[in-house]
Amino acid sequence: MLSERRRWRSKARLLLVALTVGVPGIAAGQTGWQPSGGHRQIPIWPGTPPGARPMRGPEVAATVVDPAGHAKLVAGKPWVYVDRVSQPTMTVYSPAGRNTGAAVVVFPGGGYSILAIDLEGTEVCDWLTSRGITCVLLKYRVPCAKTGPYRDCLTALQDAQRTVGLLRSRAAEWHVDPHRIGVIGFSAGGHMVAALSTHFDRRLYRPVDAADTVSCRPDFAIALYPGHLAVPERRFALNPDIRVSSRTPPTFLVQAEDDPVDPVENSLVYHAALRKAGVPAELHLYVKGGHAFGLRRTSLPITAWPELVENWLGTIGMI
């Protein structure tokens, strides 16, 4: 866990603002992330979010660059990050054609320091909506203070609980089956998938409206190269904050054995805990793949994981 945090903090120091026309999700003169045309960000809290704290400046969205100012590429393409998120939002992406009734809330990764908003966010929504699944992109609060009773990111988990509850409470409005709502997350977002899957019975904030009386338990969960699940200092035992039970939703896991950021033990220990609790779980490990590949296709077999997810969703009766 410490290695991931150091890596992302180091990466964040190399990020430069590139607010120019042509960068996905960014228009000239904007400092915060905006979705593409036809989609609207919706604040998830009616007022000040619980546990709100001052940021060192306004929200920023930019391409990731190296020290020389060149865009860092994933599968030959740059990617966009969002930093200093103080007002979390959800953006609903509805299927353009056939609607299966299923919906997925997306948690981009970024070490709880930034959000990989396109690589692990909007590109995921493009895939899901093309398969008839409503997608909700959560822009949760980062960077995280990593304090309080939940040791990794309490505010992000509050945002996740609130968003799933909101989606379920407004399911009819967005043509969603309230019994087929899942979550998908990458890296730190993958950790949040496990956190929400095991922290849904009680809100970690004082309820603010009727949406907080609706269950925030996901009906299924998908985690890609998750972090923060295995504790190296305890010989990669499961993070004690992740308390798996028989009510933890069916889960799909993908990770590469050569992941340099989050060791593969993160998926292994979580999968073992799911099996022990009798939770249906599917785990796919690959020899090569690295970290933070998102949905971008390469010659490596691991990048075919979306097809595996689609088959699994059919197997568990979600699509």
For residue range 184-193, list pLDDT tens digits in order: 999 999 999 9
Q: What is the pLDDT of residue 147?
A: 52
pTM above 0.85, yes or no: yes
CB 255 within 8 A of CB 226: yes
Q: Indicate the angle between helix axes 265-276 and 188-198, nearest 10 degrees.
A: 20
CB 17 within 8 A of CB 10: no
Neighbours of 107 (CB within 10 A): 31
Written as one letter, the residue type at 13 is R
Query: Which residues make beta-bridge pairs with 255?
Result: 285
Query: Taking Cα atoms as reference points, which of 140, 115, 170 lies closest to residue 49?
Result: 140
Residues 6+ positions from 75 with CB-CB distance below 8 Å: 293, 296, 297, 298, 303
Q: How far is CA 217 from CA 57, 112, 160, 191, 199, in A?
A: 34, 22, 10, 15, 8
CB 143 within 8 A of CB 134: no
Low-confidence stretches of the chain (pLDDT beneath 70): 1-30, 146-152
Q: What is the pLDDT of residue 314?
A: 97
CB 210 within 8 A of CB 172: no
Q: What is the pLDDT of residue 21?
A: 26
Give 37's Cβ-side CA count (13 Å radius).
1
Locate 88 and state its tokens. Answer: 């979390």
Q: What is the pLDDT of residue 18?
A: 31
Q: Which domains are assigned to the chain?
A: 2-315 (3.40.50.1820)
Q: What is the pLDDT of residue 100?
A: 97
